[in-house]
A and B are shown apart, each in its own frame.
Chain A
Amino acid sequence: MLSFPEEVVLLLLDETDGDFVPLPEAVFAIVMSGAALMDLALRNRIDTDLEKMTVVDHTPLGDDILDDALAGLGTNGAKLDIVDALYDVASKAEDYRARALRRLITRGILKEENGRHLWVFRTRRYPVIDDSEQQEVRARLRRLLMSDDIPDPRDVVLVCLIDACALAGFVLSAAELDAASPRVEQLRKMDLIGQAVTKAASETEAIIKFAATTM
């Protein structure tokens, strides 16, 4: 099973050309940070309530991304504001993307292709070699979003992540997306870190749009 930071990288790769789909860097950083934190929560390293995040087990997991994020959160019993923790981990998002890409290449899921654009600019693409994981995730989320089934905690996190990246179209057609909008809203609320990711990502997008229209 892939970690959530690896899932984010896969979600954001356009499987037709191996390029990353457009997403502002600041939003990507928040989503990657949320992925790492929600993974740590599901692996019983942190816990949250309506007011705070607590480090409950500082023991490393043997995952270089998650262990780095965990180490930055403090020792056992450390209590943190969820949004502060989200932004702290977000500062390492580019490093985590690079690590996740290396891992996906090592596992034979992606390959790296170097090229040139207009014969001058170096480009790097990551075509998907083995898309079985993506297809399985896509089918499972589609079933979940189009039904009243009770989700498992891992699927709740995936819904939070695709929603924060505005990638629900990754699993649903435009018509299905309209019908499933209340269901997406219902599921994305279910994880408190996911709620913070959604809020921070939408606020960041709004700031970027405001800046673009006033410059």
Chain B
Amino acid sequence: MDIAQEREGDVVVVRLAGRLDSSAAPGAEEQLTAAVAGEAPRVAIDMSQLSYVSSAGLRVLLVAAKKVQQKKGKLALGGLADNVREVFAATGFDTIITIAADAAAAVAAVR
């Protein structure tokens, strides 16, 4: 999987592409840990190029969201493909983590 990170003002935008599964989870966790460093982090995750997420991938996102909440920051996901959104709905992750229509809306949601 490919992971890229950039900054839009005070928001860290993480772009995930490919499959977020057990083999990709350690790398994604490392990148997300860096993204949520600092006080009250604002993090938008662009999932528009993500084609698959497994339970291991969901756990990485959950841990990142928990860290952000503990630091009184904000985190949102945007651009979920239908199959990825289905996983979020089936597991109730869409009731725990803010989900926006696309990456721009995710950035706006955490501003």
Q: How far is the CB of A134 from chain B (nearest CB, A)?
A: 23
Which stretch, A24-32, A67-75, A120-128, A148-156, touches the partner chain B?
Answer: A148-156
Which residues of A are interface residues toward B (Cβ below 8 A)? 41-42, 44, 47-50, 54, 56-57, 149-153, 156, 186-187, 189-193, 195
Residues of B within 8 A of A189 (CB): 90-92
Which stretch, B3-11, B37-45, B61-69, touches the partner chain A?
Answer: B61-69
Contact between chains at B62 and A150 (CB < 8 Å)? yes
B56 interfacial by beta-carbon distance below 8 Å: yes
Residues of B within 8 A of A41 (CB): 55-56
| Choice from B53, B54, B56, B69 contacting A150 with Cβ under 8 Å | B69
How distant is the Cα of A106 from the Cα of B62 in the complex, in angstroms? 34
How distant is the Cα of A48 from the Cα of B23 in the complex, in angstroms? 13
Which residues of B are interface residues toward A (Cβ below 8 A)? 21-23, 25, 52-56, 58-59, 62-63, 65-66, 69, 86-87, 90-93, 95-97
Contact between chains at A191 and B62 (CB < 8 Å)? no
Residues of A within 8 A of B54 (CB): 47-49
Contact between chains at B95 and A152 (CB < 8 Å)? no
How distant is the Cα of A131 from the Cα of B81 in the complex, in angstroms? 46
Contact between chains at A153 and B62 (CB < 8 Å)? yes
Contact between chains at A151 and B62 (CB < 8 Å)? yes
How distant is the Cα of A50 from the Cα of B52 in the complex, in angstroms? 11
Residues of B within 8 A of A153 (CB): 59, 62-63
* CB closest residue in chain A, given B87: A50
How distant is the Cα of A54 from the Cα of B23 in the complex, in angstroms? 12
How distant is the Cα of A47 from the Cα of B56 in the complex, in angstroms? 6
Contact between chains at A44 and B96 (CB < 8 Å)? no
Residues of A within 8 A of B86 (CB): 50
Contact between chains at B66 and A152 (CB < 8 Å)? yes
How distant is the Cα of A167 from the Cα of B108 in the complex, in angstroms? 42
| Choice from A149, A186, A191 contacting B69 with Cβ under 8 Å | A149
How distant is the Cα of A192 from the Cα of B86 in the complex, in angstroms? 13
Inter-chain pairs besides A44-B22, A149-B69, A186-B95, 17 sampled, C-beta below 8 Å: A47-B55, A48-B54, A49-B54, A50-B87, A56-B22, A150-B65, A150-B69, A150-B96, A150-B97, A151-B96, A153-B59, A153-B63, A186-B92, A187-B92, A190-B58, A190-B92, A195-B91
